Structure 1
Amino acid sequence: MTMWGAEEVGLVGSDYHVSQANHSTTEGERLSDYLVNLNYDMQNLPYNISELGGGSDYASFLTAGIVISGLNAGVSDVKTKEERDYYDQMFGQGKGGIAGVTYDHCYHDFCDSLANINPLVHYKLTQAAAYVLEYLGRHDDLRLYLYPQSEIQQLERLLLHKSTRKYNAQTEFYKKN
């Protein structure tokens, strides 16, 4: 298990780790030893499918060809009326939050602390993370499940040849070196 720091100033920790793993020759530390990156830093209940924005630590792994997954608490996106109504149906009238404001007003702010954690959401997301880990752990050949043969061949080619493109997670686009 690895944890990253300095995400608020850029993807410093995960970018550094992936760049070092890309050059490592130590078994278990090489980028080619990774099968999946599970990003559980932010979590959301009930759920909506959210798009990848590139501004989190998974970006370094994704651009290196490593499968990623994670849970998201909604961060700084604005809750729609439809989402509020959906949450009201699940939790009871008046408990679906406020439409037109961010999901988490403390996201990357001074109040983003342990005091801002919703215990029910934390519990449910811990269960979700445990389910994913158990589900993945039950596969006899996790690599084959995560990377169908054509994907494995493509990944191995990528890992053997240094890319001429560099992903900039802060601006979310590829730049030519």
Structure 2
Amino acid sequence: MNEPLQSASLTDKRPFLWGRLSSLVLGIALAGLLLDQASKLWLLFVFDLGANGPVALFPFLDIVLVWNRGVSYGLFQQNSDLGRWLLVVLTVLITIGLWIWSARCQSRLIAFALAMIIGGAIGNGIDRIAYGAVVDFVHFHVGDFSWYVFNLADVWIVAGVAALLYDSFGNGPNSAAK
């Protein structure tokens, strides 16, 4: 005789807030967060980039101070307190969602990717709370071509998204190709 099917929520034993790879995620996210915040604090308050910049490091790379009131690539600029705090709330909600995902993941690559995104999101979120905008300072340019100005948190986020994309094209259990 067949047993009745139970609801997935009743039989789902996956962790909600802390999983097998959560220590790894926490460590990587904290390392990324600390590197991001240390670089910003040093540039703002020790080097005083606002008064001493911009600094040409190479013909294609400058250190400049840009206050980004939007999201990646300067999109969705928020010049009001309401917009700023909406972005803070959105960052918190997304970070919580990514943490829950990371608690349930079984792949070290996915854990690494989510940790990078979480660390970067928290780093930029701290800026938004502390300064009202995100501190961006790395500027790549070649001739008339100018790449957007970014920070280490942005690097962590892009690296994490790239790792998620890489994983999605593989043949593993998280593969989008299946």
TM-score, normalised by the number of residues in structure 2: 0.24
Higher Cα Rg: structure 1 or 2?
2
TM-score, normalised by the number of residues in structure 1: 0.25
